[in-house]
A and B are shown apart, each in its own frame.
Chain A
Amino acid sequence: EAGVTQFPSHSVIEKGQTVTLRCDPISGHDNLYWYRRVMGKEIKFLLHFVKESKQDESGMPNNRFLAERTGGTYSTLKVQPAELEDSGVYFCASSQVLAGPVGTQYFGPGTRLTVL
């Protein structure tokens, strides 16, 4: 079974440009999460989709970030316009919706974003 995949693995852009990150979750996983790790610090939550609906976007830093999950499959995270402080590693994770309250989240390899 394929794991969570992310594209690109690395992106270098200039301040003010736009970047779109993509995440393909594990097949059958309705929950999709975006996280970010900045400057080697802790990994921080950005938002959570259940299928195509945004369940929780409390971690989104500002309106320069736009996440979508069309059709409840893959998701994109667009940063427009990018700022220097957006540099970091963006992780995507997915989990199954279980009858109980918890589902282990499985992470992708991440996209390293560098804003110059």
Chain B
Amino acid sequence: DQQVKQNSPSLSVQEGRISILNCDYTNSMFDYFLWYKKYPAEGPTFLISISSIKDKNEDGRFTVFLNKSAKHLSLHIVPSQPGDSAVYFCAASVHGNKLVFGAGTILRVKS
């Protein structure tokens, strides 16, 4: 039972363009959503989060959008940089407890 799904295993984007990573969830009890970035041989690094009471949160080049009715969230990176190339994980929790992760999306930003 995969409650958080990232249906795109990989995404390739040209440097300077927008990267859009998508995530769908099934559990309507989730009230906190996070994006993590992971480089090889390192642990996930927190990127940005959003509470279910909001529909958008922005931090520099990173913006997360939440559509509760569709149970969908997305991460926008503008502009994309080669250093953004990594695996991006979407995660969700109920009241900030255990995180439920998606399988990840490999982002490649080409220069």
* A residues neighboring B (CB under 8 Å): 4, 6, 33, 35, 41-45, 48, 55-56, 58-59, 91, 93, 95, 98, 100-110
Contact = CB atoms under 8 A, between A and B. Distances in A.
Contacts of B100: 45
A48 B20 CA distance: 32
Interface size class of B (residues with CB under 8 A): 20 to 34
Contacts, number: 66
A98 B103 CA distance: 28
Contact of B98 (A42, A48, A102): A48
A91 B44 contact: yes
Given A91-B43, A91-B44, A105 B99 contact: yes
Interface of B: 2, 4, 31-32, 34, 36, 41-46, 49, 51, 89, 91, 93, 95-104
Contacts of A55: 97
Contacts of A105: 34, 46, 99
Nearest to B102: A42
A110 B51 contact: no
Contacts of A106: 46
B96 A102 contact: yes
A98 B51 CA distance: 15
